[in-house]
Structures are given as C-alpha cells and as structure tokens.
Amino acid sequence: MSRLHTVVRVDVFADRPFAGNPASAILDAEGLSEADMQAIAAEMKTAGTAFLSAPTRPDAHFRLRTFTPARPVAYSGHTTLGATAALVDAARVHTDRVAFETVFGLLPVFVDRRANMPLLWLEPPVPTCTPFTAPVSDIATALGLPPEQPSRWAITALTPDADLILPVEDLATLHGLAPDLARLSHAGGALGLRGVCVVAPETVEPGSAIHSRFFAPQYGIPEDIVTGSVHSSLAVWLWEAGRLGDRDGLTTMTAEQGDVLGRPGRVAIEVRVAGGRPVAVRVGGRAIVMWTGRLRLS
C-alpha cells in the first residue's frame, strides 16, 4: 500500500520568495524509518529537512528530526523555523509557543504574530565559544585564504556545535573566497568540525552587524545559504570580542548571509546581558511557505 506524506518547502530568513535559505518539512513522519528520512532528505536537496511526528514527552507539541542530504543532525536553526512556518501555514499551531522534542532536549520556538508576516524566534541554551588554538592553515588554504589569515578584530573560536568561526577583515575578502570543497571537507573532518563560518565586520546594508558565509561539505552542504544554528554562537562571540558593548541590557542586531549565492537572508538577533555575561540569546527571522505537496512512498 502506498504511503502519502505532506511535504512543505519554506524559504527561511526571508521576507520575499526566492530569498533566504530553503528548508523542507514532512508534517506527518509517523512510520518513516531513519533510512526513509535520509533518502527523502537527499531527494529534497535542501540543507535541512524536518520530520515531524507525535511527541513522546508531555511538554512537547511535536517530535522533530532533522537531516541534511548526507546525514542526521541534532540541531538546525533554519530547518526548525521552516518546520514552524509550515505548521503555522497548515493551521496546526495556534499558540505563540511551539515546543519540539529533539535528540538533545526540548527546543521552543516563539511565534510573534503582531506583523502581517509572523516573526519566528529560536531561544536555544546560551552557547559558550572557546578559543580555537589548533592550526587553521589547512582550512585557510582550502578556502583560498593566506595560510595565516590576519584577524585583528576577533579571535578564531569553536562553537558547541563544532563550528569554526573564522574572522576576516572585509566583505571583499569574504565574497572572494574560492573554496576547494574536497580539501575543505578533509581538513574540517580531520579537526572534527561540523562546518566553517567565515565572518566579516563589513556588511552589505549599513544597519547590519556582520556578514558571513558557512561551509559544511562533509555534511553534504557545500555552502549553506543562511545558517540559523550558528548565529546564537556568533552573538556570544561578538559580545566577547567587545563588539556589543559592555553594559547589561538587551542588544538587538541584524546579521547577513546568502548574498553571494543570490539568496540574501537576514537574521534577527537579541542578546540579553546581566551581571556582565550573556544570559539569553534569541535568533529569529521571517519565512515564506513556497509550496505544499504530497510525497508518495510505495
């Protein structure tokens, strides 16, 4: 007997079609094996595909599994927001908070409906960025940078998701990267990295704080268009670099990604500082549901 599953394509971190990062969501993933999910994710060819099913814990609304085209991942920010947008569009969410059961715990998403297009917010645990002291010459060379790329405005750091944050001086350097993806995959794998996030303090729009590019070829993602998960770490990293000031209170900013790929994405970030340390980080964006269809599995 054929099995039919609802599949939704969403452009995330975008306020218009054909911008931001596409994500896919399967709204009724009950009965799918992990092999099924991986095959579907490979077929969808988006950086992330969300699989939603009934939760096993009482404080969650949905169970969420996330797959890249090559493997499962514990957390993908843009995929989670895409799944939320798909649920809102399908009228399966009526509250301002959606709780997802994930492999690493409960992940809430907040839905701000005050505008015509809802603003979706992730609030993951506050990350800790650690200085990355291993040599990055192989990574730099694979990206087309000098082996010892100067980074005077911030340190090279590692996020809890094993993403390397690599600062460069300007937008021209960032947009001029010419990565050797095979070499980058080998170098990143040797260092145990999920991905490499290259960041410049110069931006396309004057009101933005940073512009970045993200590469994870060993995960089947040559270059991610907009990487939601890394931006909470980028916020803490910017604070530690002194780019957000040193006062307690709430700082808001916009981060840019995707422009070089022709799909500009904009990420809203809020950082709350108390007692001289970040105590909360929210990462948000808008999302456009592009199409909904039915996936038939025999």
- The pLDDT assigned to 1 comes to 54
Classify residue 203 as exposed, middle or buried by CB count within 10 Å of its CB (0-12, 13-18, 19+).
middle
Give the model's pLDDT for residue 193.
95
The reported pTM is 0.90
Task: List domains and CATH numbers for the chain.
Answer: 3-122+286-297 (3.10.310.10), 130-283 (3.10.310.10)
% residues pLDDT > 90 (the chain): 85
Q: What is the pLDDT of residue 150?
A: 61
- Cβ 107 vs Cβ 100: under 8 Å: yes
| Residue 284 φ/ψ, nearest 5 degrees | -140, 170
Q: What per-residue confidence (pLDDT) applies to 226?
A: 96
Residues 55-88: pLDDT tens digits?
Answer: 999 999 999 999 999 999 988 999 999 999 999 9
pLDDT digits 0-9 by tens, 47-62: 999 999 999 999 999 9
Give pLDDT tens digits for 153-165. 899 999 999 999 9
Report the run of H or E that residue 42 belongs to, with start and end. helix 34-44
Contacts of 51 (CB under 8 A, 6+ apart): 25, 26, 29, 32, 37, 40, 64, 65, 66, 67
Whether pLDDT at 148 is above 80:
no
What are φ and ψ of residue 143, in 5° steps?
-85, -10
Query: Is the confidence at residue 18, as pLDDT, over 90?
Result: yes
**Residue pLDDT, tens place only, 23-32:** 999 999 999 9
Q: What is the pLDDT of residues 199-243, one digit of tens each?
A: 999 999 999 999 999 999 988 889 999 999 999 999 999 999 999
Question: What was the pLDDT predicted at 14?
Answer: 96
pLDDT band at 279, cuts 50/70/90?
very high
Give the DSSP H/E element, type plus range, for residue 171: helix 171-175
- Residue 297, pLDDT above cutoff 90: no
Indicate whether 149 pLDDT > 70: no
Contact criterion met (CB below 8 Å) for 87 and 27:
yes
CA nearest 76: which of 86, 65, 89, 87? 65
How many Å apart are CA 161 and CA 72, to the nearest integer?
14
Measured CA to CA, the distance from residue 94 to residue 96 in angstroms comes to 7
> What's the pLDDT at 234?
97
